[in-house]
C-alpha cells in the first residue's frame, strides 16, 4: 500500500500508472469535471503548485473508493489531505457546509473551555458512569448535532444514550469524559492541522486521566481518527480503540446479550467510508444486525469496499453533486425493500435524514423515502428494550 504519510506529493505521484480505474469508480467523476488521474498528470507536468491552488482537492470526497480499486494501492485521500494542508497554510479553504457553523464551533472549542455539552440535560440520570475505569466512551460532537440539525429529524445524542445503556446492561460502568472535545476529524481533513493537533492533545490528556485501557466510539469518523490519525501524529496510543460494532459483535459471540422478542423488520446496512474502506470494519456491524431476532437483513447492491459514499465528507462541498450521490445511495436502499436503513456514522445519518426530509418533485409528483434511518447502537438498544 502506497501512503502519502511521510512522503512529498512528487514522491507519491511516481506510483501512479495510466490505468484510469480511479476515474471509472469515482462517484464525483460521473457528475462533474473531476478526474483523479488528470490531477496526477497535472502535477507531473506542472508541479504540485497547480494542485495546491486547484478547486479539485475540495471536490474529492476522500471516500477512498478509488484507492480500493487502484492496482498500485495508492491512498488518494491522504494525497488530497496533504494538498489541502498546503492550501490551508496559504489561506485557501474549501466550501464549508451549513455556513461554516460547525467548523467555527470546533475552532472555538480548540481555543477555549467549550465542550460539546457532555453530560448536559440530554443525558439521563438513570445511567451509570464514572470518572475512572477500564472502559471510556467517547461521545464526540453528538450533542452539537442535536442543535445544528434539529430541523431535519433525529436526536443524535440518543446514540450516546444507547451506548451507555447497553454498556450498563452488560455490567459495565463506562467513563464518559466531561471535558472531551471534538476528535478533530473535520479540521484534519480540511487541512487545518494546527487545530486538529490542539484538539487531539486535549483529548489524549483527558483520556489519560481516566486510566482507561479501552476507548469505545460509536462514530465512524471518531473511530478512524483515534485508530489511524492520532497514532500518525502522536505515536502509539496507550489504550485500545474499538468501535461499538466491534465491541457488540464480541459480546454477542460470547453470548452476553439476550434479546427479548422484537418486531419483524427488514433491515439494510450502509458502510460508512471511514469505518468500511478505511478501517476495514465490515463484518462486525452485519453480525450484530443478524444477531437480533426477527430482523431480516438484506444487502444493497454496492457493499463493503464497493459501498457508495453518502456524498459529503467533513461537511465540505455539500452541494448538488453531493445530493445526487445521496439520491443514488438512498434509492439503492429503497430498492432492497428495507424498512430500516442502518449506519454507524452520525454524519451519514444526518445527510440521509436531510434528503429524506426534502420534498422532491418529479413529474409533479411528490416523492419521499419512507424507510427509517437509524444508528446501529440505537437499533441494538431498542431491540434490548433499553431506550
Q: pLDDT tens digits, residue range 253-288?
A: 999 988 887 788 999 999 999 999 999 999 999 999
What would the pLDDT profile of 208-232 be if each residue is shown by its tens digit? Answer: 999 999 999 999 999 999 999 999 9
Average pLDDT of the residues in 304-332: 85
Q: What is the pTM of this model?
A: 0.89
Q: What's the confidence (pLDDT) of residue 158? A: 95
In sequence order, which ranges of the chain are alpha helices (DSSP H)?
9-13, 21-25, 36-46, 49-52, 56-59, 65-69, 76-89, 101-110, 142-148, 157-169, 185-189, 193-210, 220-224, 230-234, 244-253, 283-291, 320-335, 346-356, 376-383
| Backbone CA torsion sign across 256, 377, 227, 171 | negative
Contact 263, 294 (CB under 8 A): yes
Instruction: Let me know: does 143 contact 118? Beta carbons within 8 Å.
Output: yes
Nearest partner of 177 among 204, 196, 148, 146, judged by Cα: 204
* Helices and strands, counts by H and E, the chain: 19, 10
Q: What is the pLDDT of residue 61?
A: 87
User: Which pLDDT score, from 0 to 100, does residue 354 have?
Assistant: 86
Q: Which of 34-48, 82-96, 97-111, 185-199 has the lowest mean pLDDT?
A: 34-48
Position 147 pLDDT exceeds 90: no
Helix/strand/coil for 267:
strand
Return the pLDDT at 97: 65
Q: What percent of the chain has pLDDT over 70?
A: 85
Higher confidence at residue 197 or residue 79? 197
Dist CA 64 CA 25 (whole Å): 10
> Do 145 and 354 meet the contact criterion of CB atoms below 8 Å apart?
no
Report the C-alpha gap between 162 and 102 in whole angstroms: 24
Which domains are seen in the chain, by residue range?
9-89 (1.10.1060.10), 98-251 (no CATH), 259-383 (3.40.50)
pLDDT(76) > 50: yes
pLDDT at site 99: 64
The span from the CA of 326 to the CA of 309, in Å, is 8
Q: What percent of the chain has pLDDT over 90?
A: 51
Residue 21: per-residue pLDDT: 74
Q: Please give the average per-residue pLDDT across 51-80, as a whole number.
A: 79
Cell readout for 234 is 502522536
| pLDDT over 60 at 245, yes or no | yes
What value does the mean pLDDT of the chain take?
86
- Vertex 331 angle, CA 329 and 335, to 5°: 120
What pLDDT is recorded for position 32? 74
Question: Which of 36-45, 115-124, 234-243 has the weakest average pLDDT?
Answer: 36-45
Model confidence at 54: pLDDT above 80: no
Among 12-21, 214-223, 275-284, 331-340, which stretch is predicted with the lowest mean pLDDT?
12-21
For the segment 178-196, the average pLDDT, to the nearest whole number, is 93
Q: Which residue has the higher pLDDT, 298 or 52?
A: 298
Range with lowest mean pLDDT among 94-103, 159-168, 358-367: 358-367
How high is the pLDDT of residue 8?
55
State the pLDDT confidence band at 127, using cuts at 50, 70 and 90.
very high
**At residue 380, does pLDDT exceed 60?**
yes
Q: Determine the Cα–Cα distance for residues 245 and 23; give it in Å rounded to an integer.
A: 32
Q: Determine the pLDDT at residue 142.
A: 94
Local confidence band at 296 (pLDDT 50, 70, 90 cut-offs): very high
- Is residue 252 predicted with pLDDT exceeding 70? yes
Mean pLDDT, residues 30-45 taken together: 71
| Rounded distance between C-alpha atoms, residue 36 and residue 377, angstroms | 35
Are 224 and 185 a contacting pair, CB within 8 Å?
yes
Q: Which residues pair with 360 in a beta bridge?
A: 367
Read off the pLDDT band of 47 (50, 70, 90).
low
Give Cα separations from 57 to 80, 181, 251 (angstroms).
6, 27, 41
Amino acid at each position: 500500500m502506497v501512503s502519502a504519510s511521510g512522503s512529498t506529493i512528487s514522491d507519491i505521484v511516481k506510483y501512479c500508472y495510466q490505468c484510469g480505474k480511479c476515474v471509472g469508480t469515482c462517484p464525483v467523476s460521473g457528475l462533474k469535471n473531476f478526474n483523479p488521474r488528470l490531477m496526477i498528470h497535472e502535477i507531473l507536468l506542472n508541479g504540485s503548485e497547480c494542485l495546491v491552488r486547484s478547486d479539485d482537492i475540495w471536490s474529492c470526497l476522500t471516500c477512498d473508493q478509488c484507492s480500493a480499486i487502484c492496482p498500485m494501492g495508492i491512498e488518494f485521500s491522504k494525497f488530497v489531505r496533504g494538498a489541502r494542508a498546503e492550501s490551508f497554510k496559504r489561506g485557501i479553504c474549501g466550501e464549508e457546509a451549513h455556513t461554516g457553523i460547525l467548523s467555527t464551533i470546533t475552532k472555538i472549542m480548540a481555543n477555549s473551555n467549550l465542550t460539546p455539552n457532555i453530560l448536559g440535560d440530554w443525558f439521563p440520570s438513570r445511567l451509570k458512569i464514572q470518572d475512572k475505569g477500564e472502559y471510556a466512551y467517547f461521545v464526540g460532537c453528538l450533542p452539537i448535532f442535536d442543535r445544528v440539525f434539529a430541523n431535519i429529524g433525529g436526536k443524535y445524542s440518543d446514540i450516546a444514550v444507547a451506548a451507555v445503556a447497553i454498556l450498563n446492561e452488560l455490567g459495565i460502568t463506562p467513563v464518559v469524559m466531561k471535558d472531551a472535545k471534538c476528535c478533530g476529524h473535520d479540521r484534519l481533513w480540511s487541512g487545518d492541522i494546527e487545530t486538529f493537533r490542539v484538539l487531539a492533545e486535549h483529548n489524549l490528556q483527558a483520556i489519560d486521566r481516566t486510566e482507561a485501557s479501552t476507548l469505545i466510539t460509536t462514530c465512524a469518523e471518531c473511530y478512524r481518527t483515534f485508530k489511524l490519525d492520532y497514532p500518525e501524529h502522536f505515536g502509539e496510543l496507550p489504550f485500545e480503540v474499538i468501535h461499538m460494532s466491534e465491541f457488540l459483535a464480541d459480546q454477542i459471540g460470547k453470548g452476553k446479550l439476550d434479546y427479548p422478542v422484537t418486531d419483524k423488520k427488514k433491515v439494510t446496512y450502509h458502510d460508512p467510508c471511514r469505518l468500511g474502506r478505511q478501517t476495514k470494519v465490515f463484518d462486525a456491524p452485519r453480525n450484530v444486525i443478524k444477531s437480533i431476532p426477527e430482523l431480516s437483513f438484506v444487502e444493497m447492491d454496492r457493499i463493503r469496499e464497493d459501498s457508495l459514499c453518502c456524498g459529503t465528507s467533513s461537511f465540505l462541498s455539500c452541494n448538488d453533486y453531493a445530493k445526487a450521490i445521496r439520491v443514488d445511495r438512498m434509492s439503492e436502499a429503497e430498492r432492497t425493500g428495507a424498512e430500516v436503513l442502518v449506519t454507524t456514522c452520525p454524519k451519514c445519518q444526518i445527510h440521509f435524514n436531510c434528503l429524506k426530509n426534502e420534498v422532491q418533485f418529479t413529474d409533479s409528483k411528490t416523492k419521499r423515502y419512507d424507510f427509517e434511518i437509524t444508528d446501529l447502537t440505537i437499533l441494538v438498544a431498542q431491540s434490548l428494550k433499553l431506550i
